[in-house]
């Protein structure tokens, strides 16, 4: 798959897969093309994709974002992903618009209120007036509410306090274990992301330069120096 913004090529032919039930992490420096990779999967209009991207065997290149959502893909974009004009609670419910089972929706709202008590306290507040970290908690919860087959997370730890980040990753891992939800995660906190992942890819200037089991990546010399900082 290749991806471009107008005439500017950003992804120069990358080939990767995420198997059902896996957690896969994408690592890479700023500008490497991580966000563009997720945008290509969810068929965002600003990216022109060449080649093939398949979700559960269905080609998504040439489709529109809504069709990809219907394939069961939920995307939490970098640094946003809420409706600012809706309350916290309405944001959560809007995430579940494809879910028919009311009991399940209620159960999920409870789960995320439990996980992020501040969201329960602010359930009637407009999302746009939440702090950055609170909005991030809401964005991730909102995406999970749709019970996607494939969850795309673009730097979910952005703006969250360390303790909340750990809690978030623990919850993601638990959801993956309990429900088999497939996750593709872009994350700067490589250590934490690798700890819940099965596999990882490293992107450099629009190309995959390294891939492998998460465990092996943790001890890879190049990964350690560039992304783990020890
Ligand atoms: N809308 C856009 N129009 C033009 N170029 C873009 C656009 N979005 C991103 N780019 C360019 O594409 C390249 C890859 O950007 P991308 O956002 O995918 O990087 P990234 O790996 O997610 O980086 P970061 O870690 O900073 O989020 C960058 O050089 C960026 O300037
Ligand atoms: Mg990015």
pLDDT tens per residue, range 164-202: 899 889 989 999 999 999 999 999 899 999 999 999 999
Q: Quick: pLDDT tens for 39-87.
A: 999 999 999 999 999 999 999 999 999 999 999 999 999 877 899 999 9
Sequence spans of domains, the chain: 1-72+149-230, 81-147
Q: Is the CB of 171 under 6 A from ligand 1?
A: no
Which of 1, 3, 26, 36 for a ligand 1 pocket mutation test, highest count of atoms within 8 Å of Cβ?
A: 36
b/e 198-217 (16+ beta carbons within 10 angstroms → b): bbbbbbeebebebbeebeeb
Residue 122 has pLDDT above 80, yes or no: yes
SS3 158: coil
What pLDDT does 164 receive?
87
Helix (H), strand (E) counts: the chain:
10, 11
More confident residue, 1 or 229: 1
Percent of the chain having pLDDT more than 70? 99
Q: Is the CB of 36 under 6 A from ligand 1?
A: yes
Residue 22 has pLDDT above 90, yes or no: yes
What pLDDT does 4 receive?
98
> Do 34 and 28 touch, CB atoms closer than 8 A?
yes
Report residue 216 CA to chain centroid gap: 22
Is residue 65 packed enough to be buried (19+ CB in 10 Å), middle (13-18) or exposed (0-12)? middle
What pLDDT does 196 receive?
96
* Closest residue by CA, ligand 1 atom 24: 30
Q: What pTM did the predictor assign?
A: 0.94
What pLDDT does 79 receive?
76
Give the integer Cα–Cα distance in Å for 110 and 120. 9
Ligand 2: distance of its center to the CA of 173 in Å? Answer: 22
* Closest residue by CA, ligand 1 atom 6: 5
pLDDT band at 133 (very low <50, low <70, confident <90, very high): confident
Give the integer Cα–Cα distance in Å for 34 and 28. 7
Q: Quick: pLDDT tens for 201-225.
A: 999 999 999 999 999 998 888 888 8
* Closest residue by CA, ligand 1 atom 16: 33
Give the integer Cα–Cα distance in Å for 207 and 36. 12
CATH architecture, domain defined by 1-72+149-230: 3-Layer(aba) Sandwich (3.40)
Ligand 2: distance of its center to the CA of 122 in Å? Answer: 28
Which of 9, 31, 204, 206 for a ligand 1 pocket mutation test, highest count of atoms within 8 Å of Cβ?
A: 31
What pLDDT does 72 receive?
95
> Do 67 and 60 touch, CB atoms closer than 8 A?
yes
Task: Give the number of whichever ligand sits closest to the CA of residue 26.
Answer: 1
Q: Strand 54-55 vs strand 58-59: parallel, antiparallel, or unpaired?
A: antiparallel
What pLDDT does 55 receive?
96
What are the tokens at 119? 């969201």
What pLDDT does 13 receive?
96
SS3 48: strand
Percent of the chain having pLDDT more than 90? 81
């Amino acid at each position: 798959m290749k991806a471009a913004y107008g005439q500017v090529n950003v992804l120069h032919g990358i080939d990767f897969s995420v198997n059902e039930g896996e957690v896969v992490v994408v690592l890479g420096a700023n500008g490497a093309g991580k966000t563009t990779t997720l945008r290509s999967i969810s068929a965002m209009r600003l990216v022109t994709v060449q080649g093939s991207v398949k979700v559960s065997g269905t080609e998504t290149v040439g489709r529109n974002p809504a069709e990809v959502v219907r394939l069961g893909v939920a995307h939490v974009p970098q640094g946003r992903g809420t409706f600012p004009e809706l309350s916290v609670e309405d944001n959560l419910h809007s995430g579940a618009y494809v879910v028919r089972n009311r009991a399940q929706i209620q159960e999920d709202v409870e789960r995320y209120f439990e996980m992020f008590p501040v969201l329960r306290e602010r359930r009637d507040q407009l999302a746009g007036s939440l702090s950055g970290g609170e909005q991030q908690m809401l964005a991730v919860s909102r995406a999970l509410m749709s019970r996607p087959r494939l969850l795309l997370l673009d730097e979910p730890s952005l703006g969250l306090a360390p303790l909340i980040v750990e809690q978030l990753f623990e919850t993601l891992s638990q959801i993956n274990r309990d429900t088999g939800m497939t996750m593709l995660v872009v994350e700067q906190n490589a250590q934490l992301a690798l700890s819940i992942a099965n596999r990882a890819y490293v992107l450099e200037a629009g190309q995959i330069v390294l891939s492998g089991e998460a465990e092996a990546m943790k001890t890879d010399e190049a990964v350690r120096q560039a992304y783990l900082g020890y």
